[in-house]
Structures are given as structure tokens and as C-alpha cells.
Amino acid sequence: MRTPFRQRAEEMGLLAMDHKGFYNYSDKYGEVVYRQLTTEPYIRIPEKEDFAHETDGLITPLMAIYTKPTECLGYIYCGYVSEMYQFIGNDVLNQQIRDAIQQVGMPILEENTILSPDLSRMRNEIIIRSSQNVSQVGDILPVMIVNNSYDGTKAASISFGISTVVNNNRIIFSFQLGEMRQVHIVNSSTQMSSVISSYLNVFSENIGTLIAQNFQSRLTEDQMLGTLDLIERIGKRRREEISKLLQELTPQVEGEEKQLPTTWQMFLAIARYSSFEPNLNMKRLLENAAESVLVIPTRMYNVLAQL
């Protein structure tokens, strides 16, 4: 059984004030505070008939969560977690991945960080400067995507992705295949760098094949409509916008038979839309829909599955 939160606070990187049940962490992304929840203490109100109860003022096994932007006033209540919750700071996790990438010897091109409005969830896209030029689409770069939450709604995770530029807009996509959850994220940056190195190798060897196969693979009408129906479950407006992007990516020649989109065109339409989706839950669902249409080379699929 896991040791209670308060006994693990300092080793998890939280500043602890045990006498107040107060545990704090801050970095450049913001600040989070956990506080021990207690039941309402008994306060006698003379004009009302009330009575003390044995459950008054008891400490509960729950921790309330409050967040705020760094150096700003005013905390936001974000819910609560149990005492068994395993905390890891956003930049602690990000730095672990940066260190691992550095050990591989690859420079980081840029980072793109997305935070939920209440700062309780983070997605950090770390683009690695190791591009492969593919004739059909131009430069493709590998990406490490770091996800974390302070409210227990999503375990810390690291996934692998790709990035390209379309119409001067950077498109970033994250594979669900190969995602490493918190329990599998090792403390050694040397071991993590081995995982990253494996992805960079399979990326450089297979990204051209992935794109070529998907350029050549054309969707059936049932497949196209099925994918759009799946997106409609996420939101009708999203389906309409992605359908518009798909039409732009599938130009028709007047006088010729109408062509259905390729798997790459469908993938790219969804990935373009998801790259600008601010809701992290919706972004993940859209990426899952995009991944479902991709034809992934066997070698790349096997390595991602093993990672």
C-alpha cells in the first residue's frame, strides 16, 4: 500500500508545512497548492439548535487542489485528490525529458506548452531538431509530447509524435501508440535517452515510408464517412471544420471522376485541426481519430508498441 501523501510530499518535490496541511510546488508554468481537507468543525450557534457530532473537525484522506499563475494573486480551486496521489511537477518532468534528449546528442528546436484554463493540466510539445525531408510534404521532425496533471485526471505520460509545417502553420501530432505512462517513466535520464534514441532511429528509417504509403492508400467512402462520424461524436462543428479542410486538401479536377481522399489527406485534415484545439481532452480524441486512419509501417508499429 502506498505511503500517504503527507509522508511523501517532500520526496515528490513539494514544499511542506505539515502543521497546516499545506504542500506547495511552483515553476515557470504556475503554482499548485495541496491542502488537507477536514470536515466542518463544531461551532455552537446560540440562536440555533445544533449539536456536536463525532465526525466534526476530522481530517479526511483527501487533498484540495489550488492553482495560480506564477507571481499572480488569487488561487483557483481545482478539485481534490486522494492521499494516494503521485505528484510530479510539470517542469521536473519536462526537464527529465530535456536531459534525456541532450544525452542523445540532439538539440531541441522549440517547445510549445499548452495549459488548461485552471492550470491543472499541461501538454508540452518538445520538437527535436532532427528533420527528415520527404518529397511529398517537406521537412518532418520528431516530437516528444509530455502530459501531466495536478488533479489526477490523467497520469503523467510521454508520447512520440511528428511535426511538419503546412501553409506556414506548424502541425504537431502525437501517437497514442507507444505512450509511456507515469508508472513506466524511469528516473534515470540515461534509460529514458535510450527510449528516445530508439524512436529517433525508427523515425528516420520509416517516416518516408509512412508518408509514401499513406499518399498511395485511398479511403473507401465507408471509411471516410465512418471517420467523420467518429469526429461528429466529439462535436458537430468539429466535423464541419475538418470536412472543409479535407475538401481543401482533396482538389478535384473538373470533368474527371471525383476522387476520395487518401489516408494522408484525411490524417492531415484532422491533425491540422487538432493542432489548434485548445481543449486538451478534445485534442487527444482528435489525435486518436487521426491515428486510426494512418497506415503505419510494420517496423515503426512494432518499435512504438515495444516502447
Statement to judge: residues 135 and 11 lie in one domain: no
Over residues 112-116, mean pLDDT: 96
Q: Which of 51, 66, 82 is the last residue of a domain?
A: 82
Q: What phi and psi values does residue 139 have, to the nearest 5 degrees?
A: -75, 130
> How large is the average pLDDT for residues 234-262?
86
- The verdict on 136 and 9 lying in the same domain is no
Range of the domain at 64: 5-82
Same domain, 242 and 206: yes
Identify any residues that bridge with 169 across adjacent strands, giving them in sequence order: 166
Which triple of cell numbers denotes residue 26?
511552483
Q: Is the per-residue pLDDT at 184 higher than 70?
A: no
The number of domains in the chain is 2
Q: What span, in angstroms and rounded, lies between the C-alpha atoms of 240 and 248?
A: 13
Are both 98 and 242 inside the same structural domain? yes
pTM value?
0.90
pLDDT in tens, 265-301: 999 999 999 999 999 999 999 999 999 999 999 999 9
130 and 221 in one domain? yes
Bridge partners (DSSP) listed for residue 145? 125, 159
The position carrying cell 511542506 is 16
Q: Are residues 150 and 294 in the same domain?
A: yes
> Which among 105, 107, 106, 147 has a CA at the least distance from the CA of 125?
147
24 and 134 together in one domain: no
| Percent over 70 (pLDDT), the chain | 95
Burial class (CB in 10 A: 0-12, 13-18, 19+), 43: exposed
Are residues 106 and 58 part of one domain? no
Q: Are residues 175 and 288 in the same domain?
A: yes
pLDDT at 263: 96
In whole angstroms, give the CA distance from residue 110 to residue 204.
Answer: 19
